[in-house]
Amino acid sequence: MNILSVNLRGVRDSRKVDRIRGIITSYGVHFLAIQETKLGDMSNFIFNGYRGRAAYQLEVVSAEGRSGGLACLWNPGIFTCDNVIKDHYFLALSGSLNQIGTRINLVNVYASSDATVKRSIWDRLVTIKNSLQGLWVFMGDFNEVRDEMERFNSEFIASNAEAFNQFILATGLSEYQMGGGRYTYISDRGDKLSKLDRFLVCLGFLERWSMATVLALNRDVSDHRPILLSTIPSDFGHIPFRCYNSWMEIPGFILWRS
């Protein structure tokens, strides 16, 4: 299963639609999590452009005014959803992976920048995590870093990072090492960098897909970089046979050509 998460800061721009559809096509994305849709009435917007002609299912959390908003789109042939939990700051989908019959919970998060509200979000997510069975993947814009190294030229508040790390510890979640870059958020002026976007997975997920990868993609239509979690290993075929010219000088060496 390939999962794409991105904070788009609004979803109506045709450039954003084209960019995300291109990523979905290029990387074979099965599940798309969007943060900050800025859509109050989702019935007035059609997400068809993001998936092209491919079949998909959709769940949303409406924005309050022009703040927030969440959307999840997925391939129903890969994931079957049978339970949805909605909150202003997260959208949790429970169901099963069709091909292997494994129970899984996928949580799209867009956390507040307010420290007090954020800690309340962490508490609610811990309660949900403890109430449902299955594998877990939390994704999105957590609006927080885990340590000082995840910020550059912006304020680091140790107590907020500690609260975030305590949430991760309480839920038993882990991270894959992210490739493609250290930071996911870049300010409009380009002078402030932070790793605000990430995937957090449970131990069972980590054990089942130990070779999964997380990649930060290029930032071009938002101030956040899209991040991709892929559990499908890349197969480049057989390892090519290397032949050195010096081998041909060895008596008895025969070079066969197919």
The predicted-structure confidence for 10-55, as pLDDT tens digits, reads as follows 998 999 999 999 999 999 999 999 999 998 876 546 788 998 788 8
Spatial strand order of the sheet with 102-110 comes to 79-87, 90-97, 102-110, 135-141, 197-202, 173-174
CATH number for the domain formed by residue range(s) 2-249:
3.60.10.10
Could you tell me what percentage of the chain is helix, strand and coil, using 3-state DSSP and rounding each to the nearest 5? 25, 30, 45
Kindly state the helix (H) or strand (E) to which residue 20 belongs, with its residue range.
helix 14-27
Q: Is pLDDT of 258 > 50?
A: no
User: What is the pTM assigned to this prediction?
Assistant: 0.88
Q: Is pLDDT of 89 > 90?
A: yes
Percentage above 70 pLDDT, the chain: 88
DSSP 67: B
| Mean pLDDT lowest among 51-60, 72-81, 160-169, 234-243 | 234-243
What average pLDDT score do residues 65-88 get? 94
So what's the pLDDT on residue 235? 46
Return the domain boundaries, the chain.
Answer: 2-249
What average pLDDT score do residues 121-125 get? 98
